[in-house]
Amino acid sequence: MPALISPLQPIPVTILTGFLGAGKTTLLNQVLTTQYGSRIAVIENEFGEVGIDHELVIHADEEIFEMNNGCICCTVRGDLIRILGKLRRRRDRFDHVFIETTGLANPGPVLQTFFADDDLREDFQVRSVVTVVDAQHFLQDVRSLEEVGAQVAFADVILINKCDLSGAETQAQVEALLQVINPAAAFMRGSHSRVDIPALLNTRSFDLARLLRRDPGWLEEHQHDHEHDAGDDKKPLHDSSITSVGITSDGEMDGTRLITWLAGVVLAQGADLFRMKGVFALQGDPRKVVIQSVHHVFMNGEQAGEWGEQTRHCSVVFIGRNLDRQQLNADFQNCLV
Amino acid sequence: MSDSTQDSLHANDLLPLVWQTELEDYIIDLQWSADGDFLAAMPAEGSPVVFDPRGSVLGLLKSHEGGNGSLAWHPSKALLATLGQDSLLRIYRPPFDEPAWEVPLPGGAWAERCAWNADGGRLAALAGGSLIILDARRGEIIQQSPLGGTMTDLCWNPARLEELATAGPRGLHFWKADEVAPTGHFPRPTAQKLSWSPDGRWVAIGHLGPDAHLLDRRSGKPLHIQGYTSKVKAFAWESESRWLASAGGENIVIWPLDGPEGPRGAKPIQLSGHFDKIESLDFATGQTVLFSGGRDGLLLIWMPERSTNAGIILRRSDAITQVCFCPAEAELAYGTASGEVGLCASAEK
């Protein structure tokens, strides 16, 4: 049936996360003071000194509730539903929404909120989860609090901040560990949260170019998690069981087998699966098929164009706890035709 | 008029547009006073406006700083309550210039919903994580109940003066106006929208997902309604509580409730005509004529007892967000996402 009204473009959303003191508010201030032509609505949990009177800044209470009784991973933010519900009625007044989470928050419920509510799913598009990491303290923080690992696990973009306060060796260790936890994220380095703001805001929900890059072994090189040492004390770099499994192969997949497999993984392991991101070449389909999930929820499909002359291949990254690498690999291979 | 003529009739012939005007923002609330003498329209931001049925502006009310929440007419008098994100509750009476009362709600939280009880003696408000009930005659707060999370909706039992329900992240709670603790609980955490049947028997609950519940207050049994394509954003009751119209997505589902077990085993009437999600529903007063407004910009009329075909009252270039039938005359008010407010009225008037 014909649509009488042209659908509006979804409003891009950036979710900003990071441990206490990592530099989230500094980054937020820079985003708001950088004149690059976008009007930004900010939803923040903490009362920071934003002080930008021409921007829309809203404070939120962190009201997390479960979508379904007994399923602890299916949590959403009731306050965000209300606030975003109001913002969607004022969409002519801003171009981008920025959500700053608390330093101790697991960003999962924030992310899932956009897929739990029909209106939000339709009117907003999560462009990226940006996680700010304090290069000086990350190795210490990630051992003590699981949320720090979760913030990295959920990230599409990781800003390694405060590089001026940390040595090259520490930075290398931090980046190595970040790659272990989340090899699919795009990485930026900076000090005082100074980064290329337009590039940061325009980074899509995950670094597709990175995932598609024909860089042999880029996934495999990070599969030896839990084997790194943190230097002198020889302890594991992080104590949580958050890890990643990346699999890539040339060739095509059977779409039905792929969907059946991924749906089964998400259904059975959704509680432990923070993110799943994949780009696939499906038999008979000229497009690059992008599939993402957050816990139990599949996210809206991202457009990635067609394969054209490129070598058709399939790549997927699972980020979560208690991942069975061997089984995932076997199931992946089973989907190939 | 024959049925076939009725079905094919362009509804503009029935309810032509009489007047229209533009307010400052998206219309979030639109309500007639009980006698139909006043129509109040609330934009998301800016001044709520009171019109007479001819479209004359009778009052430009104070906007609520940060954004408006909702409005509510007294069930029998020309008293209008408004509240908003400034946590202020204001009561107006004719000539609708300055508020007769202004009550700062405790806690300073966003206030988003207000409703009078059936005799107008109580006025309830939701402000952040609190349910606040005022003695409307004295303008005093008589009850404040912490709810453990921000509530999304409230409604009074039209048939029992002191009973109301709230919806929020801890489920549905029932309250009595003079008791601080809830008197009942339905533990479904995703309740977003509530509507109580005029006879007091049923409470309809819309959730975040594409389902709804119908609670039978007589038996205490919940009926789970599934199969919507989207979350249920609108309910409307036929005035004798015989029909519940619900909209979750592009279609309307009408449940007959006149059997002993309500809708159990009954076949609902399904109405298809919108091209996008339906935002608002209302029955014509005392009739089984239904009106719907949607994101497709269509304002439709339905006569489901005769036909499942729709008539088009209006097409607009943006969403019809509110429809509200006048309790006294054959007049239908509407509001849109761009701030248009208008009135369609019977040509026979």
- Residue of A61, A89, A119 with shortest CB distance to B44: A89
Is there a contact between B275 and A79 if contact means CB atoms under 8 Å apart? no
Name, in order, each residue with C-beta under 8 angstroms of B261's C-beta and a sequence gap of 6 or more. Answer: none
Task: Return the bridge partners of A222, or none.
Answer: none
Is there a contact between A76 and B26 if contact means CB atoms under 8 Å apart? no
Length of chain B: 349
Q: What is the mean pLDDT of residues A99-124?
A: 82
Across chain A, the runs of DSSP E, i.e. the strands, are: 11-18, 40-44, 56-59, 64-66, 75-77, 96-100, 124-134, 157-161, 186-189, 242-250, 273-281, 288-294, 297-298, 313-321
Q: What is the pLDDT of residues A50-96, one digit of tens each?
A: 333 334 555 555 555 554 434 445 566 777 888 888 888 877 778 88
The more confidently predicted of residues A191 and B290 is B290
The more confidently predicted of residues A215 and B169 is B169
A38, amino acid identity: S
Q: Which residues of A fall within a CB distance of 8 Å from B317?
A: 5
Report the share of chain A in percent with pLDDT over 90. 13
The more confidently predicted of residues A203 and B231 is B231
Please state, in angstroms and rounded to a whole number, the distance separating the CA atoms of residues B121 and B161: 8
Instruction: Judge whether A118 is closer than 8 Å to chain B, CB to CB.
Output: yes
Please state, in angstroms and rounded to a whole number, the distance separating the CA atoms of residues A171 and A177: 10
- pLDDT by 10s per residue, chain B, length 349: 344 434 444 556 778 999 999 998 899 999 999 999 999 999 998 999 999 999 999 999 999 998 899 999 999 999 999 999 899 999 999 999 999 999 999 877 788 899 999 999 999 999 877 899 999 888 888 888 877 777 889 999 999 999 999 998 778 999 998 888 899 999 877 788 999 999 999 999 998 888 899 999 988 889 999 889 999 999 999 999 999 999 999 999 999 998 878 888 888 999 999 999 999 999 999 889 999 999 999 999 999 988 888 899 999 999 999 999 999 999 999 999 999 999 999 866 5
Q: What is the pLDDT of residues A266-302, one digit of tens each?
A: 888 887 888 888 889 999 999 988 888 877 778 766 6
- Residue of A1, A5, A90 with shortest CB distance to B318: A5
Give the minimum alpha-carbon distance from B58 to chain A in angstroms, rounded to a whole number: 26
- Residue of A63, A67, A118 with shortest CB distance to B150: A63
Q: Between vectors from CA B145 to CA B141 and to CA B146, what angle results, nearest 5°?
A: 130
User: Within 10 Å of residue A37's Cβ, how many Cβ atoms?
Assistant: 7
Instruction: Judge whether A236 is closer than 8 Å to chain B, CB to CB.
Output: no
The more confidently predicted of residues A80 and A129 is A129
The more confidently predicted of residues A279 and A34 is A279
Q: What is the mean pLDDT of residues A13-42?
A: 82
Is there a contact between B190 and A67 if contact means CB atoms under 8 Å apart? yes
Pairs of CB atoms within 8 A across A/B: 68
Q: What is the mean pLDDT of residues A7-27?
A: 84
Determine the pLDDT at residue B336: 97
Q: Which residues of A fall within a CB distance of 8 Å from B231?
A: 117-119
Determine the pLDDT at residue A6: 59
Is there a contact between A116 and B298 if contact means CB atoms under 8 Å apart? no
Per-residue pLDDT band for A222 (boundaries 50, 70, 90) equals very low
Which ipTM was obtained for this model?
A: 0.71
Please state, in angstroms and rounded to a whole number, the distance separating the CA atoms of residues B43 and B69: 9
Q: Which residues of B fall within a CB distance of 8 Å from A121?
A: none
Q: Longest C-alpha distance within chain A, in Å?
A: 67
Please state, in angstroms and rounded to a whole number, the distance separating the CA atoms of residues B202 and B196: 6
Instruction: Judge whether A78 is closer than 8 Å to chain B, CB to CB.
Output: yes
Nearest chain B residue to A57 by CA distance is B66
Determine the pLDDT at residue B334: 98
Is there a contact between A78 and B149 if contact means CB atoms under 8 Å apart? yes
- Residue of B169, B277, B318 with shortest CB distance to A63: B169
Task: Return the bridge partners of B176, or none.
Answer: B163
* Beta strand pairing call for A273-281 and A288-294: antiparallel
Is there a contact between A119 and B231 if contact means CB atoms under 8 Å apart? yes
Per-residue pLDDT band for A137 (boundaries 50, 70, 90) equals confident
User: Within 10 Å of residue A284's Cβ, how many Cβ atoms?
Assistant: 8
Q: Which residues of B fall within a CB distance of 8 Å from A76?
A: 208
Determine the pLDDT at residue B342: 98
Q: What is the pLDDT of residues A159-179, one digit of tens each?
A: 998 888 888 889 899 999 898
Backbone angle region of B134, left / alpha / beta, with phi > 0 → left and psi within -120 to 50 → alpha: beta
Could you give the residue ranges of the DSSP H alpha helices within A155-202? 168-181, 197-202
Determine the pLDDT at residue A300: 62
Could you give the residue ranges of the DSSP H alpha helices within A88-124? 108-116, 118-123
Determine the pLDDT at residue B199: 95
Q: Which residues of A fall within a CB distance of 8 Å from B44?
A: 86, 89-90
Give the minimum alpha-carbon distance from B212 to chain A in angstroms, rounded to a whole number: 14
Mean pLDDT computed over every residue of chain A: 76
Q: Measure Cα distances from A100 to A107, A156, A227 in Å.
A: 10, 15, 33
User: Within 10 Å of residue B260's Cβ, how many Cβ atoms?
Assistant: 5
| Through-space distance between the first and last CA atoms of chain B, rounded to whole angstroms | 18
User: Is 0.95 topped by the overall pTM?
Assistant: no
Q: Are A200 and A157 in contact (CB under 8 A)?
A: yes
Determine the pLDDT at residue B98: 94
Determine the pLDDT at residue A223: 45
| Residue B311: Cβ-neighbour burial (10 angstroms; 0-12, 13-18, 19+) | buried
